[in-house]
Chain A
């Protein structure tokens, strides 16, 4: 029984971390069709932002939940205004430009922080489940992921900003004819996607540590999750995270973490073969 609870928590954690690292990309790629190969570096920058802020005496909660998203969100807006906005509709060029940006950011952080892993110790300690112990921080990550998904749903569904973003992504010219300024919506949307990536990078930093090339570990999984999820960014990311996270964690539990990753990738290939439009191409089609 204790083992079941422990595995359940770990499965939830795997789902939550997949959802967290993917959701910013889901907004940038899913809504704006921008293939942002620097997505992993946005996560990495979120981690560094939190570490720099805490090492300057700031509370770790403030650093992770406020500073990291704001810093990376601002970086996102700058990137959109200086690079991405000239490349809308030019997918290959965007990939090249964001790949270049990714290399630049890796180089820059290596120069600033060195090519070593820095960490912040996870707060909150651990708790006992029968014969097992697990960290409270695991539950915190699950809570943050849930909160982020709920927050995005609320913004998309009930706020004017969410509506304007959805409308503009569906038909920018028509939105403009109704008085919406599409470039502004694009900049804000990109900034929000970047901010959520920064938040994810910071929240996962105590678990994984931060080093300049950590983005590589994130970016493939994020793309797999977003593409597996399909067109509806929120229900897509959530359902793909549930599917891949569960498979990954169960396989990890049954065998080894390496095989867990393999199982995740194999599941992704089978899924895309069966559902080329992703999960929300067939299910939850009315979802956001």
Chain B
């Protein structure tokens, strides 16, 4: 297993958010995580990245126990993170944002960026613009491209469709599917957009009150009663 999470607990201060989360992700898998607002989806990704301390349980990544590692060490081991809200460096140019993605120095900077940009043609004319001047959709593409510059083995992707225009959502789906098929990327996707998560994921984990309560297949997301019960979205 590439990622193995056993009984993970965490929270903000003394307020517990995750209690006893367990799941595993195999190499090359695309996993979706679905749940109501406030059920701990983003918290789970933050805990996996090391931004929130684990108060219980274990996280193994690539066979190594990373439970107590700092975020930058996890990043260097091959965890990639595309956070909610994208977190583009606003006063750096698009190109410098991508250079920041190369901070781990996995290869010659220019070559890495050149290769990644082939998957993101929309970014090419924007390289000299400031990150903060981009539209939400462009920033989302940039956040994904920046993450890929670090050649991650596992990408944590938090609500990439939030507030993004539909044309770019399609572009993101296409790009990610291409990467999944061509480069053997592994991904954990947190989403509320059912079409998007169904298009991307091979399995979908339902998170409720800080626990993984169920696993469903993407095809079953068409079932209104299931969706209503576990996700709280009535169709």
Contacts and interface: CB of A to CB of B under 8 A. Distances in A.
B70 A176 contact: yes
Contacts of B90: 170
A171 B89 contact: yes
B81 A177 contact: yes
Contacts of B72: 176-177, 179-182
A173 B91 contact: no
Contacts of A174: 83, 87, 89
A177 B49 contact: yes
Contacts of B87: 171, 173-174
A22 to B, nearest CB: 21
Contacts of B104: 178-179
B146 interface: yes
B: interface residue count bin: 20 to 34
Interface string A50-82: 000000000000000000000000000000000
By DSSP majority rule, is chain A's interface helix, strand, loop, or mixed? helix
Interface in B49-73: 49, 51, 70-72
B162 interface: no
B92 A178 contact: no
A167 B75 contact: no
A203 B71 CA distance: 41
Contact of A167 (B70, B83, B92): B92
Nearest to A177: B81
Nearest to B77: A179
Interface in A132-178: 160, 163-164, 166-167, 170-171, 173-178
Interface string B9-32: 000000000000000000000000
Interface in B63-111: 70-72, 75-76, 80-81, 83, 87, 89-92, 96, 99-101, 103-104
Contacts of A167: 89, 92, 96, 100, 103
A181 B75 CA distance: 10
A157 to B, nearest CB: 10
Contacts of B147: 178
A178 B150 contact: yes
A175 B102 CA distance: 11
Contacts of B81: 177
A170 B89 contact: yes
Nearest to B97: A167
A273 interface: no
Contact of B103 (A173, A179, A286): A179
Given A166-B92, A175-B100, 9 more contacts: A167-B89, A170-B91, A170-B92, A178-B100, A178-B146, A179-B72, A179-B103, A179-B150, A180-B103
Interface of B: 49, 51, 70-72, 75-76, 80-81, 83, 87, 89-92, 96, 99-101, 103-104, 130, 146-147, 150
4 A-B pairs with least C-beta separation? A179-B104, A179-B75, A177-B81, A176-B71
